């Protein structure tokens, strides 16, 4: 019954898989509008002191902060006091930190990202003798980050690795997928030439220095490996020495024809060892930098990867200096490239589609230590090596500074990646996407205080540089669990069919082997026929079930379509209501805005009204004062006029002693004295009194009176309503007994100017009224 159930499931799977047709391609990654970025993760590791009598200048304050103390022989400022400086990192590892703890926090997430098609860069940085190589490589029994990363990778993908030569480098920083036949031919060619070492059967066959680096208790693996993919690992190992790139895995050639000339002009023997040639950097079609012609070795186990690494490690340039007995004189870059491609729909072979191949890589870099030549006392080639090391590290600092300035200040300065091979090779990681981690190794001895302080400043600045966060690239279009279903199908098929007996004929007279083989084949044929019949029945029943499901599905689709149409109508109604609500809200906002404007205008008018009322009250008070002042002035002027009139009347009432003959008034030849004081104001009215044959004077003048018969005085004063009125005081001129002249007043004519817009008058403007 279980076998029938398994076959039934296998048939359903095959039917569903082949009904889908051609496998769709995985869509390419889309560039997001806002790319998420993460800062460079900078960690600090403090190594123990070399001796108990050495002075320490580094103190671990917390899990993320260290403090530098100036040594006794160095004054930190002009006052001679010691200056203590603190530096913060993502995490600080003390002298008791084990290699496994360091790996768990720093390298393990990078290996997880590598398995999930994400790039990563991990490099160690510090002064010579600070423990960089120990951190990266380790020692027997204390494996570093590199061997532990390889061990975790192979522990995770071990059961899902593709056969050798299925993936093949294309010499352009990419990988191709070969067919099963081509891969088989490549493996046969390898076995015949014996050029590639076979995988050791156990870890003890590896180099003894790396045999027991990682114990079985410390081994770890990733639990999130896609079991429907095939994986293959390629490793490469280069060093950058004196700003030249050398391949540490390249086989050293021999040149039997061209002899090598040694120093002093002595020709070398034939078959002399020729040093490797330097490599150049190139840019692939994805704008990633790679070392052209670099050897990429496909490895299938941790042991084989160790052997390849140790093969290159033996060629790395080291030297004995004053600061370190085995000082690295070059920057080493060990690259782990992981290729993965999905299985086909059957779950048996790799899908032959280059677009479905994902390649990710993890670079593990051990930078050479910065040092001062005055301390190392380097000479000759050692001096040149130190200069190139310091120059490359200085270029790295400059690139980080420019990147930080561009990101924080918004500038667009050119980053000088090309000034050094190290920075040029790492350009992809800072300008592209991935994770960058730096481990700052610190030797706490006082002699390294100044170099350590410079390293700390550079490390703190590096933390402010951000790198684009890697995006997930899932493989789409294929059903999950293909590998296990294919294996289950093979297991079931092997259990259902009888095993074939041995068919080797040793004796020509053997008449049992062939009949037994024929019998087994006939049984297998009958089983296959039964399986085919059962398959047909199952397929027929499955077809009917699928047709029934299809009809039910169509009915449900019709129902869903009706419901969807109703929902669409409701959505339209809701949209209309929302649009109406939005319109009313906009109208309400507009009315509120207008009300606000009107309220502000009303407030302005009220304020103006209050200010005008205050001004009006002030003017009324001023007018009242002016009216009272005018009344007092009028009273004074009336008193003066009265006194003047009485005086003139008194003088004019005296009878003349010898009255003379007067000309008749009918003769029309009277002459007038027009006395107009200088203080009088012109009213500028239309109607003005006109006096012909008048002598105009501004002060009393007896000479003018002797020549005239009539006299008129223009007197101005304020009326009771506050208006200005002019009085014409007229009189006759007589000769007095003493020979002088006297005036007898006979008439007073009043001229008054009134406002034509007043409430009592409706006359034209600028009119003049008179009363006698």
Residue-wise burial string across 499-518, b where 16 or more C-beta atoms lie within 10 A, e elsewhere? eeeeeeeeeeeeeeeeeeee
Q: Is 745 exposed, middle or buried (0-12, 13-18, 19+ CB in 10 A)?
A: middle
What's the CA gap between 247 and 277, in Å, rounded?
8
- The distance from CA 589 to its chain's CA centroid, rounded to whole angstroms, is 36
For residue 247, what are the CA distances in angstroms to 170, 225, 240, 429? 18, 32, 9, 21
126 in the Ramachandran plot: left (φ > 0), alpha (ψ -120 to 50) or beta?
Answer: left
> CA-to-CA distance for 197 and 573, rounded, in angstroms?
75
Q: Give yes or no for a contact between 730 and 746, defined as CB atoms under 8 angstroms apart.
A: yes
Annotated binding-site residue numbers: 126-133
For the record, the structure tokens of 18 come out as: 């082949």
Instruction: Return binding residues for ATP.
Output: 126-133
Q: Classify strands 167-169 and 318-319 as parallel, antiparallel or unpaired.
A: unpaired
CA distance 475 to 226: 10
Closest to 177 measured CA to CA, from 414, 352, 417: 352
C-alpha to C-alpha distance for 481 and 687, rounded to whole angstroms: 121
**What Cα–Cα distance (Å) separates residue 626 from each residue in 33, 75, 491, 536, 720?**
80, 89, 126, 127, 13
C-alpha span between 138 and 143 (Å, rounded): 4
Tokens at 338, concatenated: 């992981």
Tokens of residue 699, six digits: 């002060």
**Structure tokens belonging to residue 587:** 């109208």
Ramachandran area for residue 585 (φ above 0: left; ψ -120 to 50: alpha; else beta)? alpha
Closest Cα to residue 371, out of 387, 392, 352?
A: 387
Using CA atoms, how far residue 262 sits from 41, 254, 268, 337, in Å, is 48, 15, 6, 39
CB of 59 closer than 8 Å to CB of 67: yes
Dihedral of CA 263/269/272/274: which sign? positive
CB 168 within 8 A of CB 176: yes
Q: Could you tell me which of 453, 445, 434, 471 has the C-alpha nearest to residue 123?
A: 434
Query: Is the torsion defined by CA of 689, 691, 697, 702 positive or negative?
Result: negative
Coil, helix or strand for 452? helix
From 163, 324, 174, 309, select the one nearest 235 (Cα to Cα). 309
Q: Is 744 helix (H, G, I), strand (E, B) or coil?
A: strand
What count of residues does the chain have?
Answer: 772
| Rounded Cα gap, residues 425 and 258, in angstroms | 33
DSSP 705-726: HHH-SEEEEEEEEE-TTS-EEE
Angle at 623 between CA 621 and CA 625, to 5 degrees: 70
Cα-atom radius of gyration of the chain, to the nearest Å? 58
From CA 399, how far away is CA 190, in angstroms rounded? 44
Nearest to 88 by CA among 68, 106, 66: 66
Tokens encoding 89: 């990192």
- DSSP, residue by residue, 483-518: HHHHHHHHHHHHHHSPPPPP----STT--SHHHHHH
- Residue 244 makes CB contacts below 8 A (sequence gap 6+) with 278, 421
């Amino acid at each position: 019954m279980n076998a029938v159930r398994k076959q039934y499931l296998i048939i359903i799977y095959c039917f569903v898989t082949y009904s889908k047709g051609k496998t769709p391609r995985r869509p390419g990654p889309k560039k997001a509008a806002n790319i998420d970025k993460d800062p460079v993760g900078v960690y600090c590791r403090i190594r123990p002191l070399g001796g108990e009598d050495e002075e320490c200048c580094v103190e671990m304050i917390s899990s993320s902060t260290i403090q530098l103390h100036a040594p006794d022989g160095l004054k930190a400022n002009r006052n001679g006091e010691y200056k203590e400086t603190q530096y913060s990192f993502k995490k600080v590892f003390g002298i008791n930190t084990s290699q496994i703890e360091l790996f768990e926090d720093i390298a393990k997430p990078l290996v997880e990202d590598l398995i999930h098609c994400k790039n990563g860069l991990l490099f160690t940085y510090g002064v010579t003798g600070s423990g960089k190589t120990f951190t990266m490589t380790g020692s027997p029994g204390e494996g570093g980050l590199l061997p532990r990363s390889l061990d975790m990778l192979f522990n995770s993908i071990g059961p899902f690795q593709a056969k050798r030569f299925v993936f093949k480098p294309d010499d352009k920083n990419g990988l191709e997928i070969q067919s099963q036949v081509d891969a088989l031919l490549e493996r046969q060619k390898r076995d015949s030439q014996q050029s590639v070492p076979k995988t050791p059967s156990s870890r003890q066959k590896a180099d003894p220095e790396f045999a027991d680096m990682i114990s079985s208790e410390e081994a770890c693996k990733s639990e999130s490996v896609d079991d429907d993919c095939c994986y293959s690992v390629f490793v490469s190992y280069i060093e950058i020495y004196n700003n030249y790139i050398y391949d540490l895995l390249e086989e050293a050639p021999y040149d039997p024809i061209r002899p090598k000339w040694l120093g002093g002009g002595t020709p070398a023997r034939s078959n002399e060892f020729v040093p490797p040639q330097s490599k150049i950097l190139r840019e692939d079609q994805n704008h990633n930098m790679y070392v052209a012609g670099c050897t990429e070795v496909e490895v299938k186990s941790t042991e084989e990867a160790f052997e390849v690494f140790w093969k290159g490690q033996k060629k790395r340039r080291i030297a004995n200096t004053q600061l370190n007995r085995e000082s690295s004189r070059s920057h080493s870059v060990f690259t782990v490239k992981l290729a993965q491609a999905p299985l086909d729909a059957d779950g048996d072979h790799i899908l032959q589609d280059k677009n479905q191949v994902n390649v990710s890589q993890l670079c593990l870099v051990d930078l050479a230590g910065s040092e001062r030549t005055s301390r190392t006392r380097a000479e000759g080639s050692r001096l040149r090596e130190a200069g190139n090391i310091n120059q490359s590290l200085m270029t790295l600092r400059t690139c980080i500074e420019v990147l930080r300035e561009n990101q924080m200040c918004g500038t667009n300065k050119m980053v000088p990646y090309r000034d050094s091979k190290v920075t040029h090779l790492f350009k992809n990681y800072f300008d592209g996407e991935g994770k960058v981690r730096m481990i700052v190794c610190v030797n706490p001895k006082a002699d390294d205080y100044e170099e350590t302080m410079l390293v700390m400043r550079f490390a703190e600045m590096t933390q402010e540089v951000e790198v684009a966060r890697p995006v997930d690239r899932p493989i789409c279009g294929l059903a999950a669990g293909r590998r296990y279903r294919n294996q289950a199908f093979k297991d079931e098929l092997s259990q259902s069919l009888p095993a074939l007996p041995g068919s080797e004929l040793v004796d020509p007279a053997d008449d049992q082997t062939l009949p037994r083989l024929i019998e087994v084949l006939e049984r297998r044929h009958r089983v296959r026929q039964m399986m085919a019949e059962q398959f047909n029945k199952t397929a027929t029943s499955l077809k009917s079930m699928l047709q029934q499901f299809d009809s039910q599905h169509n009915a449900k689709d019709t129902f869903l379509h009706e419901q969807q149409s109703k929902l669409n109508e409701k959505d339209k109604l809701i949209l209309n209501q929302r649009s109406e609500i939005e319109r009313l809200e906009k109208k309400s906002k507009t009315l509120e805005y207008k009300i606000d404007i009107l309220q502000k205008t009303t407030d302005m008018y009220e304020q103006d009204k209050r200010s005008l009322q205050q001004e009006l009250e002030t003017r009324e008070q001023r007018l009242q004062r002016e009216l009272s002042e005018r009344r007092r002035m009028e009273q004074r002027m009336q008193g003066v006029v009265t006194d003047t009139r009485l005086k003139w009347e008194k003088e004019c009432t005296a009878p003349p002693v010898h009255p003379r003959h007067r000309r008749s008034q009918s003769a029309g030849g009277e002459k007038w004295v027009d006395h107009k004081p200088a203080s009088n104001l012109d009213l500028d009215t239309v109607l003005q009194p006109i006096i012909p044959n008048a002598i105009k004077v501004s002060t009393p003048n007896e000479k003018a009176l002797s020549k005239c018969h009539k006299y008129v005085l223009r007197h101005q004063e304020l009326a009771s309503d506050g208006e200005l009125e002019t009085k014409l005081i007229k009189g006759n001129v007589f000769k007095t007994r003493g020979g002088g002249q006297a005036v007898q007043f006979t008439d007073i004519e009043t001229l008054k100017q009134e406002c034509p817009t007043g409430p009592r008058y409706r006359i034209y403007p600028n009119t003049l009224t008179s009363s006698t």
